[in-house]
Structure 1
């Protein structure tokens, strides 16, 4: 096809009286001007007419994916190929240059065409990455990593093809020499290769994806993943700082991924309050009567009182309490907490819901709350947790219980004054 076009142009030039009456130098100068003019005109036509028309069509279309190709300059990068193709087509027509010079220029033009073509393909891949990143169906897929892998592959292919064109050798000649340099390359680029392999593992196993909340204390990372590439993982911490993690660190070291919590729709509250053991005791009749007015305890107190009174029929009222059964303030308090949390509108009922007593410590008797909220967003979660424990600490005196805390300076001063 190229030879036929060149032959037609040569015949047209040979039939032109104006060019035939000029010398060789003038002929080549005129031909050079015509060649560059045709290249410039072809570029202007493509950019001002074709690309402009395609941009108008893209702007009027309802689809948004085509806007990404326009934003990344895909059309402009492909338009640069047109004038180079025109120059390469007309270059053999110049007779003033020696075959050696023509051959060198031809190779340079061909190599430049390959580089510009791959540059345009890179722009296409960038646009595809942005489209996939904004699409919900592919947002969790490691598109960025795979596109970077394709870019890396294209880079090596382009380098081999470009060198083979410039040196007038086949690409197989250079590929055969890679085996000799493999050991040297692995030694020099050891960290890069480790990161590359780890990045592929992260991508294929979806250990980390964009939007995940990860925590890696060793590197000071605690925030949202913004980008996962083949060698690094970009994390925006909650204090708005950026942490760049090497990909191989996420494979070799331990880290916490909160994705499961987000996907489940429930976030755990696991917190204990310490009760002063000296405030724990049996409930008196007056305290039972007062607590029976609490709506959440009515059924519990009625059932428990019946069971205890039935058990205590074999004992006289004068006998010590250790010989019989009785309701304790801490047991009643646990029953109240369980009923309170079960009717709380922000607590997930389909997940674990526990109010349990842990082993006593030097700080008192721990009562642990183990529940899940229906909010995974940080600020809302903290508000729910704070409201629950505000209420818990406020109702402690109603059960005759006291929260344990270390003596403060005011406590010591009060003791000394006495």
Structure 2
């Protein structure tokens, strides 16, 4: 401790200790301002929570923490400036630049918090496309980050013209080295803008073994939850070269079934087909504006076949099977009501009487029978 005090006095023999009072006043004023700010922000937040809109609450949350930090850092820079100048006798003009950068950094921080708050608020609404909201959030954060870095470099005297010139050459090198990374990034942008699917959609690809529910669309890869509850991470560039099916955007689900009745019930086919078609036309869960067909279709090997081709109103997988089950059970009742029944694979073998007798006689017995007859 004695050595430190000796160094302190030797390094600043003409030190004016009035700067301690100056620093104390600055930090005291900062403490008072911080208390006042917290009281004011608390009152504003209480008022904002009583309003019908959430935008004022989001704005207050965005600026509260950055403003608190600025209240402490702004006078602290003056205190450090005074201390450094008193001890080292070195000009501290660079503190002026630092304060400007500090103010801009706090504003940038508040804007980032505002973007995050708006994104979180919009993501809670089912009326908005979450994929688009997430894309706009990523783009806004990227733009703010670029603006912040360029502004800080300019404030510290770094030429942006030379930097951009160097960045053009460096960007070419980086682009060649990080080709896959950039292709995934732009693939993510294409997903955001083209929107072949969004978060929550069930997608599949006939080209790749990809099927499941989209849980997250990142800037580099998309996470899909398969039906086995396994996470599947797909690079975004893959979606630019494969076919993607999106069953979640179906308007209806199709019922396409073939039913066979026995050949001996051929005279009842016309009545069965007519009643089945009437049943479908009156069914409350069948989409009547879509194609609806019930027709005698084929003479099959062991049955007379008719088919039904129609669409349900629901696209929900579980509800679709409930509707289909109800339709099939009503078809069973209609067929039985006409005194008919369903066919099953059968084969009938017919023999002529003489052929049957001949087939039953062994070869040796047939020869003896011929000799006795002669």
Give the CA deviation at 1:344: 0.9
For residue 119 of structure 1, the aligned residue among 106, 109, 112 is 109
Instruction: Note the residue ranges of structure 1 that are not aligned, 5 or more in a row.
Output: 1-21, 284-327, 407-418
Give the CA deviation at 1:384: 0.9
Residue 268 (structure 1) aligns with: 253
Please say which of residues 98-107 and 175-184 is displaced more in the overlay: 98-107
The answer as to 2:374 corresponding to 1:384 is no
Please say which of residues 332-341 and 345-354 is displaced more in the overlay: 332-341
C-alpha distance in 1 between matches for 2:136 and 2:265: 67
Residue 179 (structure 2) aligns with: 190
The answer as to 2:24 corresponding to 1:36 is no
Q: Deviations over 1:84-113 (max 9, x none)?
A: 233345665554154757345555555444
Go from structure 1 to structure 2 and tell me whether the alpha carbon gap of 1:35 and 1:385 turns closer, same or farther (over 3 Å shift): same
C-alpha distance in 2 between matches for 1:63 and 1:364: 67
Mapped contact 1:274–1:404 kept (Cα < 8 A): no
Residue 258 (structure 1) aligns with: 247
Q: How many residues align?
A: 332
Go from structure 1 to structure 2 and tell me whether the alpha carbon gap of 1:63 and 1:34 turns closer, same or farther (over 3 Å shift): same
Q: Deviations over 1:335-389 (max 9, x none)?
A: 2221111111111111111224556777966643322222233322221111112
For residue 158 of structure 1, the aligned residue among 140, 148, 151 is 148
Q: Deviations over 1:256-298 (max 9, x none)?
A: 113542xx4xx2223323526xx22465xxxxxxxxxxxxxxx
CA RMSD of aligned residues (A): 3.5
Residue 263 (structure 2) aligns with: 280
Residue 53 (structure 1) aligns with: 43
Q: Deviations over 1:293-347 (max 9, x none)?
A: xxxxxxxxxxxxxxxxxxxxxxxxxxxxxxxxxxx43443322221111111111
Residue 137 (structure 2) aligns with: 147
C-alpha distance in 2 between matches for 1:207 and 1:85: 49
Residue 332 (structure 1) aligns with: 271
Go from structure 1 to structure 2 and tell me whether the alpha carbon gap of 1:88 and 1:175 turns closer, same or farther (over 3 Å shift): farther
Residue 84 (structure 1) aligns with: 73
Mapped contact 1:219–1:245 kept (Cα < 8 A): no
Go from structure 1 to structure 2 and tell me whether the alpha carbon gap of 1:39 and 1:191 turns closer, same or farther (over 3 Å shift): farther
C-alpha distance in 2 between matches for 1:153 and 1:126: 14
1:272 is paired with a residue of what secondary structure?
strand
C-alpha distance in 2 between matches for 1:25 and 1:405: 110
Give the CA deviation at 1:53: 1.6
Please say which of residues 144-153 and 203-212 is displaced more in the overlay: 203-212
Residue 323 (structure 1) aligns with: none
Mapped contact 2:254–2:309 kept (Cα < 8 A): yes
Go from structure 1 to structure 2 and tell me whether the alpha carbon gap of 1:205 and 1:270 turns closer, same or farther (over 3 Å shift): same
Go from structure 1 to structure 2 and tell me whether the alpha carbon gap of 1:382 and 1:329 turns closer, same or farther (over 3 Å shift): same
TM-score, normalised with respect to structure 2: 0.74
2:17 is paired with a residue of what secondary structure?
helix
For residue 24 of structure 1, the aligned residue among 6, 15, 19 is 15
Mapped contact 2:122–2:133 kept (Cα < 8 A): yes
1:253 is paired with a residue of what secondary structure?
coil
Mapped contact 2:216–2:224 kept (Cα < 8 A): yes
Give the CA deviation at 1:58: 1.2
Residue 133 (structure 1) aligns with: 123
Mapped contact 1:84–1:113 kept (Cα < 8 A): no
Mapped contact 1:213–1:222 kept (Cα < 8 A): yes
C-alpha distance in 2 between matches for 1:25 and 1:80: 30
C-alpha distance in 2 between matches for 1:136 and 1:390: 37
The answer as to 2:314 corresponding to 1:375 is yes
Go from structure 1 to structure 2 and tell me whether the alpha carbon gap of 1:182 and 1:334 turns closer, same or farther (over 3 Å shift): same
Q: Deviations over 1:131-165 (max 9, x none)?
A: 33334553367121022012112222323333444
- Correspondence 1:296-307 to 2 at 5 A: none
Give the CA deviation at 1:35: 3.0
2:52 is paired with a residue of what secondary structure?
coil
